[in-house]
Amino acid sequence: MKILVAYFSYTGRTEKVASLICENFSKFKVEFDLVKIQPILNLPYIFWLLLSFVPKLPFPLKKFKLNNVYDIIVLGTPKWTLNCPPVTSFVNFLRSNFKDAKKPKVAFYITYGGFKEDAFIEKFLKIFKANGFDVVEFDKFKRRDIDEGRVLERIENFVRKIFVHLNQSI
């Protein structure tokens, strides 16, 4: 079983969740690759905020490589108003990279402050579905819960459910 964990994180919460997910994969002796989605520029908050109001706007990424054929891609993104441009670029990459190829399954999670997160999730569900990706699992983790260490159990559950979809028993 080949797993890719890919995430973008601006202030560290989505990264924290990604590393907890990876810890669980390691605990269950499952191998994974990790890709950190990185924009070519590190913009100040105010610029990201402005860009985040433009739906579907991509932002160029630093080069990255997928080293394997993956059964599942686990994508982590922060919730940004209407759009998180670096993640939009990554999703665009997935769409074109797997256009005529066997598509990996997708699981994703968002981290968020506490405002309109479900609409953000719906957008991801819609775009993956429209492009033929099977979303097997998704979840949301609130910033405060991550900061206060209240997500460990839910992350373990998230990982377990992913295994179930991949027909692996742990």
Ligand X SMILES: Cc1cc2nc3c(=O)[nH]c(=O)nc-3n(C[C@H](O)[C@H](O)[C@H](O)COP(=O)(O)O)c2cc1C
Q: Which residues lie near ligand X (CB under 6 A)?
A: 9-15, 45, 48-49, 52, 78-81, 111-117, 143
Residue number, 115 or 149, with CB nearest to ligand X: 115
Strand partners, 104: none
Structure-block tokens of residue 17: 């969740």
Give the largest Cα separation in the chain, rounded: 45
Residue number, 112 or 163, with CB nearest to ligand X: 112
CB of 48 to ligand X, least distance (A): 4
The CA distance from 136 to 114, in Å, is 24
Strands 32-36 and 3-7 come out as parallel
CB of 147 to ligand X, least distance (A): 9
Q: Which amino acid, residue 131? A: N
CB of 143 to ligand X, least distance (A): 4
CB of 71 to ligand X, least distance (A): 25
Residue number, 123 or 143, with CB nearest to ligand X: 143
Strands 105-112 and 135-142 come out as parallel
Around Cβ 67, how many Cβ atoms within 10 Å? 10
Residue number, 11 or 26, with CB nearest to ligand X: 11
